[in-house]
Amino acid sequence: MADKPSIPKGTRDFTPLEMTRRNHIFDTIRKIFKTYGYLPIETPAMEHLSSLMGKYGDEGDKLLFKILNSGDFKNKLSDDELATIPAGKLGTMISEKGLRYDLTVPFARYVVQHRNEIVFPFKRYQIQPVWRADRPQRGRYREFYQCDVDVIGSDSLLNEFELIRIMDQVFSVLGLKVVIKMNNRKVLTGIVEMIGEPDRMIDVTVAIDKLEKVGLEKVMLELEQKGLKRDSIKRLAPVLQMEGSSLKKMKFLEGYLEGSHIGEEGLSEISQLFGLMENDPAEAEFELDLTLARGLNYYTGSIFEVKSAEVQIGSICGGGRYDDLTGIFGLDGVSGVGVSFGADRIYDVLLQLDRFPRKDEMDTQLLFVNFGQREALHIFPILGQLRKNGIASELYPDVAKMKKQMSYANARKIPFVALVGEQEIEDGVITLKEMETGNQERLTPDQLVDRLS
Amino acid sequence: MADKPSIPKGTRDFTPLEMTRRNHIFDTIRKIFKTYGYLPIETPAMEHLSSLMGKYGDEGDKLLFKILNSGDFKNKLSDDELATIPAGKLGTMISEKGLRYDLTVPFARYVVQHRNEIVFPFKRYQIQPVWRADRPQRGRYREFYQCDVDVIGSDSLLNEFELIRIMDQVFSVLGLKVVIKMNNRKVLTGIVEMIGEPDRMIDVTVAIDKLEKVGLEKVMLELEQKGLKRDSIKRLAPVLQMEGSSLKKMKFLEGYLEGSHIGEEGLSEISQLFGLMENDPAEAEFELDLTLARGLNYYTGSIFEVKSAEVQIGSICGGGRYDDLTGIFGLDGVSGVGVSFGADRIYDVLLQLDRFPRKDEMDTQLLFVNFGQREALHIFPILGQLRKNGIASELYPDVAKMKKQMSYANARKIPFVALVGEQEIEDGVITLKEMETGNQERLTPDQLVDRLS
């Protein structure tokens, strides 16, 4: 036989078992999104490269999968151009389309393109794969699903509150203990204002982001190397060293941020959200984490991140408020907030903790052994009755040896096997065998439906 | 504002309404596949170009979307090669991956790659988008979904029977009147044998395929132009002219195919399937159509096609048996049979006949008007109770004018609005307003849940 065929690195096939488990996650998330009034949309896998380029930074541009133009893609290029233009630039001259890199930019494009038909505030969710030409490694794929939920066209903090409730409910229904961390970009802006480095927001947040990993001293060293004033770093230190409850942190910030208009605004938003949460507590731990910065530039207010409280793994959900996402497509002044669930990491956590449900209730419940044509004819109407009642059931398609048919049932983990031979046909019954116990019962078709419902 | 952003031609955004309707089709199909014991798989959007090239004919190769290699895609090519190699060939030198063109070839690749973990007979379904660089036109897209269901590793005719039942049930549940047409490649082979043109199978079936459109004379002319012997065409005529019931056609073929081993085998398969169908009749019309050929080369036995009996449109489902699909990936001797549902055409038919369900039961049922912070705090636990009972409900996020909130409810087609003001809080009730009638009721939270369940 020829070499085994394979798939591109960083991509995956999903087997039926994996599909069932992934669908458990997607279905849970989708169902909760819906009860909160969010509506589904889908966008094409391909977008114009012009819609994608420049939206994810230089690094992101390199990670876009580009689709080669159809037909004679080089007919507008001279030999000289083909030879001398570097691959990076040439790529954008022979490709006009790219695979979507996330769901956020296509969503912004969608909102602007469909703005006249959309009812605002627009609460949408979207569950689709995205593609990134990243170096594949454990837990990082070139094709993976994102589950995004956003509300756009309302700047009310109640939206943030609702998203926190959604995150809490999703992980509670999935049976996972999590910590929902929040922060606010305005508070971070206030902090850099107060230390006298209003233009160093990115340097400061990048450094803060590493606090947990590398410790206080190294973070302070990095800030010094980046050229922050000694005095600024000294003034930042109490923020980095702050410990204790969220309430204590808020109290501290009240004094620290006094005089920074934006900082105070951010703190007030945080306080309001904590107030709302207190009124109706979450199952998850909910905490203020001032080291939470989240890299994406478009966040302007609340930011969120969810971590597993049981498994050591990166964040399994995150997001925040953006005041100008659609601005990149020419529509200004539309505020939104959203979070994205990381299905692959949630999958890994559930698997590691063995928290997937034992069985998909829609897996095949019953296999009829195939004894031959005459018995099959007798079985078909019973099969029809079972299926119409939503009981997944099968007749083994071939008249194979009993042993082969039973080992199919075993391998497929089908819990019941039905035997219908001459005697059963005469008596109008089915012999039902429970695979685990070996117990047998004789049942009429109606009784069989009841038994398996 | 800048130009409105757009999406690549031949691709589509799906709005919430379209999503709800499409999901109605997918959910119906998926649910039925499951009750018949079929298991879901998914494969990556990208396959190695080597897995795709040469599988769909020369025309198909041209219609593959190719993904430009990441990084310096031209570093292995000389300037001379870049300049002189034609785009078609050059494309395969700077691309190693392509987007899947259908679900059949990836399925064959999957079966071969995973053959040691698969339990045979393997009953799988797969619902995913495919991409083709076809010229976009009305009803033809460059990105569209396929819904495939196949069983591989069993040559029993019961599989065909089951697929007919599945097709029948899907369209019956969707509320569509259809005709399920069947034929058998072996019968077609028998016919070309009997007319003395055993090597002209493709010419004959291509011509037959046009019978309905262009009529008998033109078909016979075409066959003559293609170089078929006069005598052969004369002997073919009675097949082309055959009319009447499926039973009558079978009777005719019995005589006509006498002596062609393969033809008789095909006819026997058809008779058996008609026998099984008679035992347990379909809701759909079920008929033998000798002009049904289906272009795909890999079919070797039964072939199927479903047409709407109410709307003039191409086939909305089709498939057949293939004896050597996995042979292209080096695994011989595995027989399978499957059909593919055309979601886009089914969508068009349902839309034209206005047969989509009025409403998604998971659409938002209830909107709470937002009167302010105090009222909102009172509402949150009620919202939580509704949502936990699966009732999709929302609180308008902003304290906007009543008129604006009501017009949101109207535009979203939310059937109920809840008013909770000071008096309601005091009395522990909710005023529920039915939008269509304007009727108002005062209900406790528990009564509200009951009312909307």
Residue B124 to chain A, least CA–CA distance (Å): 8
Residue among A426, A431, A427, A425 at smallest CA distance from A443: A431
Element (H, E) at A442: strand A440-443
> Percentage of chain B with pLDDT > 70?
98
Chain B CB within 8 Å of residue A114 CB: yes
Angle between helices B201-209 and B185-194 (to 10 degrees): 110
Average pLDDT over residues B54-68: 91
What residue of B is the nearest CA neighbor of A133? Answer: B70
Residue A305 pairs in a beta bridge with A181, A318
Cβ–Cβ below 8 Å for B2 and A330 = yes
Q: Does A330 touch chain B (CB under 8 A)?
A: yes
pLDDT reported for residue B1: 45
**Cβ-Cβ contacts under 8 Å, A71 against chain B:** 87
Least confident interval from B84-88, B290-294, B425-429: B290-294
Which residues 388-417 of A have a C-beta within 8 angstroms of B?
390-395, 397-399, 408, 411-412
Rounded to an integer, what is the distance from CA A52 to the centroid of its chain? 20
| Average predicted confidence (pLDDT) for chain B | 93
pLDDT tier, B234 (very low <50, low <70, confident <90, very high otherwise): very high
Chain B: nearest CA to A336, how far in angstroms? 12
A171-202 pLDDT tens trace: 999 999 999 999 999 999 999 999 999 998 88
Summarize pLDDT for A308-323 with one digit per residue, the tens. 999 999 899 999 999 9
Name the residue among A23, A47, A67 with its Cβ closest to that of B67.
A67
CA B34 to chain centre: 16
Find the angle CA(B427)-CA(B431)-CA(B436) to the nearest 5 degrees.
170
Residue A127 in tokens: 């569950």
> Does the fold of domain B177-309 match that of domain B8-161+339-361?
yes
Contacts of A129 in chain B (CB under 8 A): 45
- Within 8 A of B3 by CB-CB distance, chain A residues are 330
Interface of A with B in 203-232 (CB under 8 A): none
Please, which pLDDT band fits residue A208 given cuts at 50, 70 and 90? confident
Note whether A41 contacts B51, CB cutoff 8 Å. no
**Predicted confidence (pLDDT) per residue in B110-119, tens digit:** 999 999 999 9
Query: Taking the CA atoms of chain B, what radius of gyration do you get in angstroms?
Result: 29
CB contact under 8 A, B119 and A411: yes
User: Residue B2: its pLDDT value, please?
Assistant: 52
- Region B178-198: what's the mean pLDDT? 95
Helix (H) or strand (E) holding A270: helix A261-279
A71 has a pLDDT exceeding 90:
no
Which residues, numbered 283 to 312 in chain A, qualify as contacts with chain B under a Cβ-Cβ cut-off of 8 Å?
A: none
Q: For all residues of chain A together, what is the average pLDDT?
A: 93
Question: Which run of H or E residues covers position A6?
Answer: none
Instruction: Please tell me if residue B5 touches chain A, with a CB cutoff of 8 Å.
Output: yes
Distance, in Å, from the CA atom of A190 to the CA atom of A263, rounded to the nearest integer, reads 4
Q: Sorting pLDDT into bands at 50, 70 and 90, what band is A296?
A: low
C-beta atoms of B47 and A109 within 8 A:
no
What's the pLDDT score for residue B348? 95
Distance (Å, whole) CA B277 – CA B269: 12
Of B42, B112, B143, the CB nearest to A14: B42
Of A158-167, A397-406, B31-40, B237-246, the poorest mean pLDDT is in B237-246
Determine the average pLDDT of the residues in A285-291: 93
B361 touches chain A (CB under 8 A): no
B293 CA: distance to closest CA in chain A (Å): 26
Q: How far is B393 from chain A (nearest CA, A)?
A: 6
- Cβ B91–A68 below 8 Å, yes or no? yes
pLDDT of residue B76: 87
B177-309 CATH fold:
BirA Bifunctional Protein; domain 2 (3.30.930)
For chain B, give every domain's residue range: 8-161+339-361, 177-309, 363-452
Percentage of chain B beyond pLDDT 90 is: 79
| pLDDT one-digit tens code per residue, B82-108 | 988 988 889 989 999 999 999 999 999
Assess whether pLDDT exceeds 50 at residue A1: no
B166 chain-A contacts, CB cut-off 8 A: none
Nearest chain B residue to A78 by CA distance is: B83
Multiple choice CATH, A363-452, 3.40.50.300, 3.40.50.800, 2.60.40.1190, 3.20.20.80: 3.40.50.800
Contact B34 A133 (CB under 8 A): no
CATH architecture of B8-161+339-361: 2-Layer Sandwich (3.30)
A331 touches chain B (CB under 8 A): yes
CA distance, residue A31 to nearest chain B CA (Å):
8
Q: State the pLDDT at residue A2.
A: 52
Reported confidence tier of residue A76, pLDDT bands at 50, 70, 90: confident
Q: Is A6 on the interface with B (CB under 8 A)?
A: yes
Name the minimum distance, in Å, from the CA of B377 to any CA of chain A. Answer: 7
Contact status, residue A350 vs residue A25, Cβ threshold 8 Å: yes
User: Which residues 158-177 of B have a C-beta within 8 angstroms of A?
Assistant: 158-159, 162, 165, 169
- Per-residue pLDDT band for B362 (boundaries 50, 70, 90) equals low
Note the pLDDT of residue A59.
86
Nearest to A392 among B35, B109, B129 (CB): B35
pLDDT on residue A189: 94
Yes or no, beta carbons of B113 and A13 under 8 Å apart: yes
Which of B9, B12, B67 to probe by mutation at the A interface, max A CB count within 10 Å? B67
Global confidence as pTM = 0.93
pLDDT for residue A57: 83
With an 8 Å Cβ cutoff, is B113 touching chain A?
Answer: yes
Task: Name the pLDDT band for B68 (thresholds 50, 70, 90).
Answer: very high
Residue B35: list chain A partners with CB under 8 A: 362, 386-387, 390-393
Residue B329 neighbours by CB under 8 Å, 6+ apart: A2, A5, B51, B108, B109, B112, B113
With b meaning 16 or more CB within 10 Å and e meaning fewer, what string describes A273-294? bbebbeeeebebebebbbbbbb
B76 touches chain A (CB under 8 A): no
Calpha distance A414→A367 (Å, rounded): 7
Query: What is chain A's Cα-based Rg?
Result: 29
